[in-house]
Amino acid sequence: MHNNRKYNFGAGPATLPTSVLEEVKEELLDWKGRGLSVLEISHRTDEYTEIAVEAEQDFRDLLSIPSTYAVLFTHGGATLQNSAIPLNLSSPAGEVSYVNSGHWARLSIEEAKKYTNVKIAASSEEENFSSFPPQSTWEFSDKQDYIHITPNETIGGIALRKVEKENIPIVADFSSSILSEYVDIESFGLLYGGAQKNIGPAGLGFVIVDKELLGSAQETTPSPMNYFKLDESSSMYNTPPTFSWYVAGKVFKWLKGKGGVKAIGQVNERKAKKLYEFIDKSDFYSNKIEESSRSIMNIPFLLKKEELNSKFLTDSFNNGLLALKGHRSVGGMRASIYNAMPEEGVDALIEFMKLFEKENL
């Protein structure tokens, strides 16, 4: 740990690279010797345009995004896109399919119903969302406008880590897994998410969309949510979340310095494997997710004795391990181990869990 920094296992806003925070601190009052903060720079200036353009290019480089896809930086995180997606890609008379894989998929479904006709392509609700519905089970029509998935359910800890291209556009909420491992962009029509997990501070969202899908938004689509207008204005139809975008650019540089997505993916695999192996070998802790559907970003686990939950949270906090409480809808604990969580943070968590088990058998 660096100075008084503790390990933040929160689902989001999540831990950021310490080196990025130090850079931001260094530049905050006087950005590049200009006598003002980056917080005070107009988004219409050449200086900020340089920040924005460089951040987008680094994002493209990290994910190998083809030039046939637009990259948009937006307001409102992923939740706003739950409305924007059907408004841009469907119509009141149209039809779309959604895979119901858990909490965030359900919210996407309910929001889309306001703007178009929604069918459920597959669901794992009957299995209490302990696995991700296999792609081979999805039921949809070639006449539908798109099929939507949430390939990493932040709360439930289930994931679909490989997706094959379909005959209609696949739209995917990558909020909690973007940049965590390789993804074939061209398998999707649109990828989107909030920044506050693997990219930067809250307030910023991203959309990666096949340009062929632009230009057919519903007439009632608010202009700041219209993907064609956002692309046309380089994501600056109105004032963007400038500070979050600036920090995101620094995170992209940090990730490039770590060797990019392939390299961080190997680290993420290793971190998750350590924690899952410890939980699986323990009689005191458990994880209910099928092995083939386990997330490498969000790992929920239960204690054998539920009455010890409060003590676990208090003791872990006192040991510098923060935000391990599971979501209220599933209970238990959850460790979110995004890109910026160092491997030694996972090691520290495992050592604490061993000690807690020994002291509370």
**Residue 361, Cβ neighbours under 10 Å: how many?**
9
- How far is Cα 90 from Cα 112, in angstroms, rounded to an integer? 10
Q: What angle do CA 67, 91, 213 make, to 5 degrees?
A: 10
C-alpha 219, offset from chain centre: 29
- How far is Cα 25 from Cα 29, in angstroms, rounded to an integer? 8
- How far is Cα 81 from Cα 74, in angstroms, rounded to an integer? 9
Q: Is residue 172 classed as helix, strand or coil in its secondary structure? A: strand
Under a CB-based contact definition with an 8 Å cutoff, are residues 261 and 254 in contact?
A: no
- How far is Cα 135 from Cα 289, in angstroms, rounded to an integer? 17
**What are the CA-CA distances from residue 114 to residues 49, 80, 136, 310 (Å)?**
36, 13, 28, 40
Active-site annotation, residues: 104, 173, 197
140's CB contacts (< 8 A; 6+ apart) are 97, 119, 121, 147, 166, 168
Under a CB-based contact definition with an 8 Å cutoff, are residues 85 and 148 in contact?
A: yes
DSSP code, position 327? P
Nearest Cα residue to 102 out of 172, 166, 175, 151: 151
